[in-house]
Amino acid sequence: MQIELTTPALLFPAISLLLLAYTNRFLVLAQLIRELSGKSRQGGEEKLRRQIAGLRKRIELIRWMQGCGVVSFLLCTVAMFALFVGWPLVGKIVFGASLALMCLSLVLSLVEVAISSNALNIELEDIRP
């Protein structure tokens, strides 16, 4: 199968948007942590402790999501370079690695969304219809 220089370039917009979304998630978490920090000074509750545990997991996942996304972007660029200089086998292998890292980043994102949903359910525990 022949791979052209433009094939890895197709991932550039997707990776950029994905990294932007991950950064936005991180910023929202940072704001939430600041709010919870203020609440923790008012009184330590079991619910707050559970939220903080979830936030720690989410921060770690977002760090890995961003890392995998950045390395995927870098490998995509390396694949384009390899194809540009006439090394199609190297380009294919590196592009395949780039795709694998992008998939890993997306799976980690799915796990982070599940944890985030659990955090919302914790908040809803005290709300009665």
Q: What is the pLDDT at residue 98?
A: 93
Length of the chain equals 129
Handedness of CA 107, 17, 98, 26 (dihedral sign): negative
- pLDDT averaged per 10 residues, the chain (length 129): 71 75 77 68 67 85 91 92 92 93 92 82 65
Q: What is the pLDDT at residue 5?
A: 64
CA dist 102 → 13, 28, 99 (Å): 13, 22, 5
Q: What is the pLDDT at residue 37?
A: 62
Helix (H) or strand (E) holding 53: helix 46-84
